[in-house]
Amino acid sequence: MAFDEMLTAESHPRLPYKTYHEWYTNQDAAHLIRKTQDAENIFRKTGITFAVYGHADSSEKLIPFDIIPRIISAREWRKLAQGIEQRVLALNAFLDDIYHKQEIIKAGRIPRQLIEKNSAFLPQMIGFKPPGGVYTHIVGTDIVRTGEDQFYVLEDNARTPSGVSYMLENRETMMQMFPELFTLNKVQRVEDYPRLLRQSLASLAPPGCKGKPRVAVLTPGIYNSAYYEHSFLADQMGVELVEGGDLRVIDGRVKMRTTRGYEAIDVLYRRVDDDFLDPLTFRPESALGVPGIMDVYRAGNITIANAPGTGISDDKAIYSYMPEIVEFYTGRKAMLENVPTWRCSEPASLKYVLEHIEELVIKEVHGSGGYGMLVGPTATKKERAEFAEKLAAKPNNYIAQPTLALSTVPIFVNKGIAPRHVDLRPYVLVSDKVQIIPGGLTRVALKQGSLVVNSSQGGGTKDTWVLED
């Protein structure tokens, strides 16, 4: 039985939801149905869309939004925030180590081949320390819950975590539609994120930066699935949104084309993958990046956020070693546990996974967005058999995890409320300090019984409230 975050087994509201539940029980259902339609209209007018690659009609999709907030107490949040901060600091120390002394490999805590044969490991970063020693400027840590005080990290997103625009728009929409709820409940702010993001990025400008650092957001362009977010964040931060064609290397600096000629950029928040960042260093055919930007970066004349090469910490095989990584760099056990994980590269684990495929979730080590995975309990016999063949052929490519009974939060449906499974992606900013935005993006599986929350796979989102004490 899944843990219901709003209601106890006796259908009494849990403490964080008490005030909201009283309000909800006094609402007219028809009024709430109209509010759901109003929310959809707000999202449509604002243009809050995403694309799903591989679909003929993928150019414009509205992300479904649910009007019942997910509510987290101040006590629960403190516990989560401490665990997230510990993990993010360990990830940054791990990245610094594998590109320098590789102490964790020498200590035998992680196999050498897991690093050196990983396509996300960039030899170009060996021996180079980014400005301020920060690799992971923006992190999205995916967290699931299975009980009152049981939280697990599902994965670490340290490459280019997305979704923060939905967190901000969800809050704005809720405040617009239900202002009275924010009078009744003391909810911590998320609206400061763009300002904090800009401050955090600017604080890590390269040493040669004179005066106020110039920040820009690098997007692959309008056909990227997260383009809305790129333009939204640039606009909210008050910085330029640029594509590779707008930039060039001149006199050892990355400069942006403007009406006044080319002007230097100090900090580039890039939403372009490593492979496409510099055609002179990585993929020669890439038209998305900037030829020569890696030379400028290594010369210390620009900050790239997140640093190239951070993608290795997103790898799901590396994830399976996170308890060891956290303990190695912090000297303490991880406050937030991993989901138990079988590495299919290990023969005994592979044997177990193949024998229990109907019970497990199997994921590609480089996969994201819910693609390339098998949810054993909901898959057909044919799908499991076909996946078993792929798994046996390339075991190094997969990890497996038990199907956790993810917690549920009610969603609003025409008949009232219905429980649906959720996860949470809090956003973390790293500079000379760690700032964790109180809340994050709650993703919800809108289909009854489904555990897949990704918007690309039919999931939706909710506003996430962290209450003040």
| Higher pLDDT pick, 454 / 237 | 237
* Residue 56: pLDDT band with limits 50, 70, 90: very low
Extract the tokens encoding 229: 């977010």
The domain defined by 342-402 folds into: Dna Ligase; domain 1 (3.30.1490)
Could you read off the pLDDT of 326-351 as tens digits, one per residue? 999 999 999 999 999 999 999 999 99
Q: What is the pLDDT of residue 63?
A: 82
Residue 456 has pLDDT above 80, yes or no: no
CA-derived radius of gyration, the chain = 22
* Paired tokens of 174: 């809720």
String of DSSP letters for 261-279: EEEE-SEEEE-S-GGGT-T
Per-residue model confidence as pLDDT tens digits over 11-20: 999 999 999 9
pTM listed for this prediction? 0.92
Please compute the mean of the pLDDT values over residues 173-189 and round it to a whole number. 96
Give the residue-averaged pLDDT of 40-59: 65
Band (414; pLDDT cuts 50, 70, 90): confident
Question: What was the pLDDT predicted at 9?
Answer: 92
Q: What is the pLDDT of residue 448?
A: 86
Note the pLDDT tens digit of each residue in 200-240: 999 999 988 888 999 999 999 998 888 999 999 999 999 99
Q: What pLDDT does 49 receive?
A: 60
- Omega before 118 cis (within 30°)? no
CA distances from residue 280 to 118, 277, 286, 291, 362 in whole angstroms, order as listed = 21, 9, 9, 6, 36
Among the ranges 57-61, 103-107, 311-315, which has the highest mean pLDDT value?
103-107
Is the pLDDT at 371 greater than 70? The verdict is no
Mean pLDDT of 51-63: 57
Domain ranges of the chain: 15-120+134-185+322-338+404-466, 342-402
Tell me the average pLDDT across 258-267.
Answer: 94
Mean pLDDT of 417-443: 96
As a dihedral over the C-alpha atoms of residue 148, residue 149, residue 155, residue 157, rounded to 10 degrees, the angle is: 100
User: Which of 395, 318, 5, 313 minimizes the C-alpha distance to 138?
Assistant: 313
